[in-house]
Amino acid sequence: MSDLQKYIDKLNSLDFSKMYEGDFFLTWEKSDDELAATFAVADALRNLRERNISTKIFDSGLGISLFRDNSTRTRFSFASACNLLGLEVQDLDEGKSQVAHGETVRETANMISFMADVIGIRDDMYIGKGNAYMHEVVDAVTQGNKDGVLEQKPTLVNLQCDIDHPTQCMADMLHIIHEFGGVENLKGKKVAMTWAYSPSYGKPLSVPQGVIGLMTRFGMDVVLAHPEGYEVMPEVEEVAKKNAAANGGSYRRSNCMADAFKDADIVYPKSWAPFAAMEKRTDLYGKGDTDGIKALEKELLAQNAQHKDWCCTEELMKTTKDGKALYLHCLPADINGVSCVDGEVEASVFDRYRDPLYKEASFKPYIIAAMIFLAKCKNPQAVLKALEEKGTQRWFQA
Amino acid sequence: MSDLQKYIDKLNSLDFSKMYEGDFFLTWEKSDDELAATFAVADALRNLRERNISTKIFDSGLGISLFRDNSTRTRFSFASACNLLGLEVQDLDEGKSQVAHGETVRETANMISFMADVIGIRDDMYIGKGNAYMHEVVDAVTQGNKDGVLEQKPTLVNLQCDIDHPTQCMADMLHIIHEFGGVENLKGKKVAMTWAYSPSYGKPLSVPQGVIGLMTRFGMDVVLAHPEGYEVMPEVEEVAKKNAAANGGSYRRSNCMADAFKDADIVYPKSWAPFAAMEKRTDLYGKGDTDGIKALEKELLAQNAQHKDWCCTEELMKTTKDGKALYLHCLPADINGVSCVDGEVEASVFDRYRDPLYKEASFKPYIIAAMIFLAKCKNPQAVLKALEEKGTQRWFQA
Amino acid sequence: MSDLQKYIDKLNSLDFSKMYEGDFFLTWEKSDDELAATFAVADALRNLRERNISTKIFDSGLGISLFRDNSTRTRFSFASACNLLGLEVQDLDEGKSQVAHGETVRETANMISFMADVIGIRDDMYIGKGNAYMHEVVDAVTQGNKDGVLEQKPTLVNLQCDIDHPTQCMADMLHIIHEFGGVENLKGKKVAMTWAYSPSYGKPLSVPQGVIGLMTRFGMDVVLAHPEGYEVMPEVEEVAKKNAAANGGSYRRSNCMADAFKDADIVYPKSWAPFAAMEKRTDLYGKGDTDGIKALEKELLAQNAQHKDWCCTEELMKTTKDGKALYLHCLPADINGVSCVDGEVEASVFDRYRDPLYKEASFKPYIIAAMIFLAKCKNPQAVLKALEEKGTQRWFQA
């Protein structure tokens, strides 16, 4: 049995019918079956590409990207995913400013979507805004499609919002599944999602939030560790607790990095800004209070500097399960003595995990492509089979 | 008989042979048959896309876009049109400055065109410059093709110049044709192209000029209304008068918005800058006279502010034919209490017409694609038929 | 026998097996056969395109471009080449700053390459940096491919470095071959690569270096002429000397433009900055010494101004072989009385050669495409034949 058939069989066992013509906002809005389908399709698309079989399901069409924050990795992952499926990327460049909501969003969303099959948005800077904005866009194009303005409803892919970073966390998760030899091997594994020191300020909360909201669904024991004052959004912690209760794992918070690392199977040490501070910053931006923003930045950098001891050291790594926990990072990491003096991780630890870290990142284009594929194919199994049978070479060899 | 056959039959009744290998500068340089062919092809391409049939006529090739002014709508419309036909968009970003003419244009035009099948240009800022620049580009690539430098002559599509905005006005017109159930129903209809107040300054004249230059060709009664001092280019008014005389409609100017709205079937209230002021601005830019430009801006804003009563109100709308004139706008509109305090239109009017306004905009990508298609297909009817018979799915479904 | 078969036969007579899965850094790292293969494939791809036959060998895939310096010509040439082969271009915009090397390069190179088949880089500003950077990128993605991070190793195309400008010089060379009716007619021809005055400062050395490193391989007599103080990299001169010795031509340096032009068959008058000054500038940038950079700029402009007599005049052109030497330039040229007061060439000379100059430039997209093609096709002859037999129309005609 070919690997592709294995993924198709997997899909046949799952119910993901609501993903067709849907969107991808937050992982916890998706059922277990829907997440499993996303992983299966990501693996299936990679399988086809590795065998030099084209996975284009679009002969023409646009993938619109809208980045409210600088991005190289996610930008290229989205472009790669679109290209893999046959869509041409068009960037909507609105700058980093907080754009107007309401009527303007409704209009712009329609105006860019006449040939758009996908819209990918990254909007993670302002608490309470990014996810809301994505919903506004989806509501606008859904209405536009109903009204006969748009021949198709573009699918939204959340490329990072103020709440979740689903393409990152799903890629992290697929990496874990591969590293541990299958989702069935994850029960009881300990995951340490911990804060780490960084000399820069204002890093988004979407990764730690996305991780605790997703990884608590696989029966793992998830610990979120951070210094006091670096709390994440309480509603996401509620999600993590409910997930853990429902899936036979656990979720707890700690203020001690060593506690989190102790016997961990997986560690994810990464800096982020306190939720409350990000809320405050959003207000200051809203008021255009430049002095306030500068003062807050200074305050936050000083606060960070009190926790330089929160670093993923060799010593800490030794305390993990057999001293060999899987080290995760969304990249780029702040590496001691490489990209900064003191940072999130010691250079020797990072070096040892470079190869798995790059592999972790390599799942992202496939995860994004899978999210699009499931929203665009009524019968994904049949489409995968048809692509294999057609067997168009991606890279022509004579 | 399928709808597509209807459009093919229409094309068979028209003479548009000169459009092959041609360019699209101004609507009044095209014959009635040529405009009718453009509408027919736009409808035909939309018909095919709605039936999920690929309309790609290029396997590879580039569509070059050059925007001398910020643009989201037109940029995406052009990108959509290119994508629909199989061309990849490459932006030539020269900034908003007035670029050098003459030798530099000739050289750059050739250097970007080795694989270019289409060049779309928006250059509307400077009176007497934009259209002239487009001709320079076309002359250069025509010569380049003759000299064996370019394997093909790229087609120019005027995406807005100082004189006309043909892709916008043709899309507006196709919207009208659809709303009124056919071009044959337009005779005697009254069109009010009127100035409206906007708190911003220096909006291009190409829309009102394009509208009076085009809509006078369908036997309609076209009124151009604006406050004194907001005159458009006299040569375009001459075009409008001649069109009206030749087509059994009428053209007149008014300095009263109410007069224009009275019993109108179609209203197009929109701000623009006075022609004479734009000429002056062009000179000031040419001299690099920053102080002069600032003074002019101040003067024009003050002039605008005297005419805040030029607004498309509910009251005015009631005076139109059955109180139900078709409201048009090229978007974005300045909406009272939404995007500004006082603007071009009352929010409740705009809201009521949102759906038709978005549909109006949705024709633009197809109009642009039709312009390209007619310049690139020796026998468009045969190509349309062949595309339908081939029946390649745009969006693959298994 | 079709022209295509002629090119295939040529390829059959050459050994270029090492180009498969290779990269293109410097012309002198390639064998004579490899250069001949590049020319043959460039001509073959152009032949197919002229016959409206698609040359797409990729059904999907990305071509990444990274420009560390402004570029219109090379950017469009790269985009054209990628499009010709079926790759979509994605720009990695890092600005013009000297970016970090080492770990950051390794990571970024992998992160952008998940779907990348080609990476084109222009990095010509800093002596000792550009070519080294390209090697870092290639090393990173080669490792990434070995480690299973990347499904394919992207091919690097040097779009201009501090040492060579291979895509430009190969295009220049193919132009010469066509103008002289074949590579076999070049023996004993005299080439004058000479400095010329320009009012701008800091033009890269890669063109003169690339020219003397490449054109000495065809049995021609190459003279590099420049005022004292405008020396190029000594190691490239060594390459030129060795080439000349091995191929039966000659290489010499002169400080007299008239000496170089005398009886020349080919002249290439073009400004560049002194090697030593560019080294100094690189150091100043490294130290962030803004004042030093400004002082150096002033000094270099003053130095240039002493040599305004280094201009390609009608008078000098008369002294060339039959007064009709082939005039070359990479464009844009500084033309007296057109783009500047005093420049590299008199307007009447430039005008007379405009047509051949544009043709010279027209080879660049095909040269780039050939470099990619040879790196991506195990059996290029079979692929060319298969493309011809498939005969997919590039531009669909019914």
DSSP B220-264: -EEEEE--TT----HHHHHHHHHHHHHHT-EEEEES-HHHHHTT-
pTM of the model: 0.96
Q: Would you call C379 and A392 a contact, using CB atoms and an 8 Å cutoff?
A: no
Q: What mean pLDDT, rounded, does chain B reach?
A: 94
> Can you give the pLDDT at residue C50?
96
Same fold yes or no, A3-164+364-390 and A168-361 = yes
Q: Would you call A339 and C107 a contact, using CB atoms and an 8 Å cutoff?
A: no
Q: What is the least distance, in Å, from the CA of A311 to any CA of chain C?
A: 19
Could you list the pLDDT tens digit for every one of the 398 residues in chain C? 679 999 999 999 999 999 999 999 999 999 999 999 999 999 999 999 999 999 999 999 999 999 887 788 899 999 999 999 999 999 987 653 334 445 689 999 999 999 999 999 999 888 889 999 999 999 999 999 999 999 999 999 999 999 999 999 999 999 999 999 999 999 999 999 999 999 988 899 999 999 999 999 999 999 999 999 999 999 999 999 999 999 999 999 999 999 999 999 999 999 999 888 888 988 898 888 999 999 999 999 999 999 999 999 999 999 999 999 999 999 999 999 998 999 999 999 999 999 999 999 999 999 999 999 999 999 999 999 999 999 999 999 98
C108, C151, C382 ranked by CB distance to A72: nearest: C108
Which chain A residues have a beta carbon less than 8 Å from that of B56? 59-60
- For an interface test with A, give the residue of B45, B58, B351, B397 to mutate (most A CBs within 10 A): B397
The tokens for B232 are: 């458009």
Is the pLDDT confidence value at B62 over 60?
A: yes
Going by C-beta distance under 8 Å and a sequence separation of 6 or more, which residues neighbour residue C269?
A: C192, C194, C195, C196, C257, C310, C311, C312, C327, C329, C344, C345
> Can you give the pLDDT at residue A326?
98
Q: Would you call C385 and A398 a contact, using CB atoms and an 8 Å cutoff?
A: yes
**CA-nearest residue of chain B to A55?**
B396
Contact of C130 with C123, CB cutoff 8 Å = yes
- State CA A9 to chain mean position distance: 26
A interface with B, Cβ–Cβ < 8 A, is 56-62, 88, 90, 92, 102-104, 107-108, 110-112, 114-115, 117, 144, 147-152, 376-379, 382-383, 385-386
Q: Please state, in angstroms and as integers, the Cα–Cα distance from residue A66 to each residue in A28, A89, A357, B11, following that order.
A: 23, 10, 26, 40
C90, C148, C383 ranked by CB distance to A398: nearest: C383
Q: Would you call A394 and C147 a contact, using CB atoms and an 8 Å cutoff?
A: no
DSSP SS3 for A67: strand
Q: Spell out the SS3 assignment of B126-187.
A: CCCCHHHHHHHHHHHHHHHHHCCCCCCCCEEEEEEECCCCHHHHHHHHHHHHHHCCCHHHCC
Q: Would you call B60 and C54 a contact, using CB atoms and an 8 Å cutoff?
A: yes
- State CA A95 to chain mean position distance: 22
Q: Tens digits of per-residue pLDDT, A73-113? A: 899 999 999 999 999 999 987 653 334 445 688 999 999 99
A83, A361, A396 ranked by CB distance to C383: nearest: A396
- Per domain, the residue ranges of chain B are 3-164+364-390, 168-361
Torsion of CA C293, C295, C298, C301, to 10 degrees: -60
Q: Would you call A115 and B80 a contact, using CB atoms and an 8 Å cutoff?
A: yes
- Residue labelled with tokens 């051949």: C356
Q: Would you call C149 and A398 a contact, using CB atoms and an 8 Å cutoff?
A: no
Is the pLDDT confidence value at B133 over 90?
A: yes
Q: Would you call A111 and B86 a contact, using CB atoms and an 8 Å cutoff?
A: no
DSSP SS3 for B351: helix
User: How far apart (Å, rounded) are the C-alpha atoms in residues B78 and B368?
Assistant: 7
Q: What is the least distance, in Å, from the CA of C124 to any CA of chain B?
A: 21
Paired residues of C393 in beta bridges: C53
The tokens for A319 are: 């305390």
Which chain A residues have a beta carbon less than 8 Å from that of B46? 151
DSSP 8-class letter at B204? -
Q: Would you call B396 and A56 a contact, using CB atoms and an 8 Å cutoff?
A: yes
pLDDT band at B334 (very low <50, low <70, confident <90, very high): very high
ipTM: 0.94
Q: What is the least distance, in Å, from the CA of B241 to any CA of chain A?
A: 34
Q: Would you call A395 and C61 a contact, using CB atoms and an 8 Å cutoff?
A: yes
Contact of C230 with C261, CB cutoff 8 Å = no
Which chain C residues have a beta carbon less than 8 Å from that of A58? none
Q: What is the least distance, in Å, from the CA of C185 to any CA of chain B?
A: 23
- State CA B238 to chain mean position distance: 19
Going by C-beta distance under 8 Å and a sequence separation of 6 or more, which residues neighbour residue A344?
A: A196, A197, A198, A269, A270, A271, A311, A312, A329, A333, A334, A335
B285 or A62: which leads in pLDDT = A62
pLDDT band at B253 (very low <50, low <70, confident <90, very high): very high
Q: What is the least distance, in Å, from the CA of B361 to any CA of chain C?
A: 28
> Mean pLDDT lowest for which of B179-188, B272-281, B320-329, C131-140?
B272-281
Q: What is the least distance, in Å, from the CA of B83 to any CA of chain A?
A: 6
Which chain C residues have a beta carbon less than 8 Å from that of B383? 396-398
Instruction: Give the mean pLDDT of B212-219.
Output: 98
Nearest to B191 by CA among B265, B251, B244: B265
Residues A241-264 as b/e (b if ≥16 CB within 10 A, e otherwise) read bebbeeeebbbebeeebeebbbeb
Paired residues of A389 in beta bridges: none
**CA-nearest residue of chain C to B102?**
C338
Q: Would you call B398 and A376 a contact, using CB atoms and an 8 Å cutoff?
A: no
Instruction: Give the mean pLDDT of B328-333.
Output: 96
> Can you give the pLDDT at residue B94?
65
Which chain C residues have a beta carbon less than 8 Å from that of A84? 60, 115
**CA-nearest residue of chain C to B115?**
C80
C62, C110, C151 ranked by CB distance to A358: nearest: C110
B interface with A, Cβ–Cβ < 8 A, is 46, 49-50, 54-56, 72-73, 76-77, 79-80, 83-84, 86, 88-89, 331-332, 335, 338-339, 355, 358-359, 361-362, 364-365, 392-398
User: How far apart (Å, rounded) are the C-alpha atoms in residues C200 and C214?
Assistant: 26
Q: Would you call B56 and A60 a contact, using CB atoms and an 8 Å cutoff?
A: yes
**pLDDT cut 70: percent of chain B above it:** 97
The DSSP code sequence of C196-210 is ---SS----SHHHHH
B74 or B263: which leads in pLDDT = B263
User: How far apart (Å, rounded) are the C-alpha atoms in residues B34 and B44?
Assistant: 15
Contact of B191 with B264, CB cutoff 8 Å = yes
Q: Would you call B61 and C395 a contact, using CB atoms and an 8 Å cutoff?
A: yes
Is the pLDDT confidence value at B15 over 90?
A: yes
Which chain A residues have a beta carbon less than 8 Å from that of C104? 332, 339
User: How far apart (Å, rounded) are the C-alpha atoms in residues A205 and B328?
Assistant: 44
User: How far apart (Å, rounded) are the C-alpha atoms in residues A51 and C375?
Assistant: 19
Contact of A366 with A43, CB cutoff 8 Å = yes
Q: Please state, in angstroms and as integers, the Cα–Cα distance from residue A266 to each residue in A173, A261, A348, C31, C314, following that order.
A: 11, 8, 17, 51, 75
User: How far apart (Å, rounded) are the C-alpha atoms in residues B343 and B202?
Assistant: 15
Q: Would you call A151 and B50 a contact, using CB atoms and an 8 Å cutoff?
A: yes
Q: What share of chain C is helix, strand, coil (3-state, %, to 5)?
A: 50, 15, 35
Count of Cβ atoms closer than 10 Å to residue A171 Cβ: 24
B111, B115, B147 ranked by CB distance to C355: nearest: B147
- For an interface test with B, give the residue of A103, A145, A373, A389 to mutate (most B CBs within 10 A): A103
- Residue labelled with tokens 């003050």: B302
> Can you give the pLDDT at residue C99?
47
Q: Please state, in angstroms and as integers, the Cα–Cα distance from residue C19 to each residue in C25, C30, C46, C315, C371, following that order.
A: 12, 9, 20, 45, 8
User: How far apart (Å, rounded) are the C-alpha atoms in residues B277 and A239?
Assistant: 61
User: How far apart (Å, rounded) are the C-alpha atoms in residues B214 and B61?
Assistant: 32
Q: Would you call A332 and C148 a contact, using CB atoms and an 8 Å cutoff?
A: no
Contact of A166 with A359, CB cutoff 8 Å = no
Contact of B158 with B27, CB cutoff 8 Å = no
The tokens for A204 are: 């988004």
Contact of B197 with B313, CB cutoff 8 Å = no
Q: Would you call B88 and C86 a contact, using CB atoms and an 8 Å cutoff?
A: no
Q: Would you call B359 and A115 a contact, using CB atoms and an 8 Å cutoff?
A: no
Which chain B residues have a beta carbon less than 8 Å from that of A151? 46, 49-50
Q: Would you call B152 and C395 a contact, using CB atoms and an 8 Å cutoff?
A: yes
Q: Where are the alpha helices (DSSP H) in chain C?
A: 3-12, 32-50, 73-85, 103-111, 130-146, 166-179, 206-215, 234-247, 257-261, 275-287, 290-305, 314-318, 347-352, 354-362, 364-376, 380-390
Spell out where B53-93 has E strands: 62-67, 88-91
Which chain C residues have a beta carbon less than 8 Å from that of B56? 396
Length reported for chain B: 398
| pLDDT mean for each 10 residues of chain A (398 residues) | 92 98 98 98 98 98 89 92 97 58 81 96 89 96 96 97 97 98 97 96 93 98 97 96 97 98 98 90 89 92 95 98 98 93 96 96 98 98 98 95
Q: Which chains touch A (3 or more CB pairs under 8 A)?
A: B, C
DSSP SS3 for A153: coil
Nearest to A333 by CA among A323, A325, A342, A343: A343
Nearest to B108 by CA among C28, C76, A98: C76
Count of Cβ atoms closer than 10 Å to residue B45 Cβ: 26
Q: Classify domain C3-164+364-390 at the CATH topology level.
A: Rossmann fold (3.40.50)
Is the pLDDT confidence value at B1 over 80?
A: no
Nearest to C224 by CA among B369, C39, C216: C216
Q: Classify domain C168-361 at the CATH topology level.
A: Rossmann fold (3.40.50)
Q: Would you call C115 and A73 a contact, using CB atoms and an 8 Å cutoff?
A: no
**CA-nearest residue of chain B to A382?**
B398
Instruction: Give the mean pLDDT of B204-233.
Output: 97
Q: What is the least distance, in Å, from the CA of C279 to any CA of chain B?
A: 31
Q: What angle do CA A315, A320, A322 make, to 5 degrees?
A: 105
Q: Tens digits of per-residue pLDDT, C92-110? A: 876 533 344 456 899 999 9
Backbone angles phi, psi at C198, to 5 degrees: -140, 140
User: How far apart (Å, rounded) are the C-alpha atoms in residues B63 and B372?
Assistant: 10
Is the pLDDT confidence value at B297 over 50?
A: yes
Which chain A residues have a beta carbon less than 8 Å from that of C377? 397-398
B72, B83, B395 ranked by CB distance to A111: nearest: B72
Specify whether the backbone of A341 is left (phi greater than 0), alpha (psi in -120 to 50) or beta.
alpha
Specify whether the backbone of B61 is left (phi greater than 0), alpha (psi in -120 to 50) or beta.
left
Which chain B residues have a beta carbon less than 8 Å from that of A382? 398
- Residue labelled with tokens 């820069």: A200
The tokens for B394 are: 């745009």
Contact of C279 with C233, CB cutoff 8 Å = no
Instruction: Give me the total of CB pairs closer than 8 Å, taking one residue from chain B and one from chain C.
Output: 96
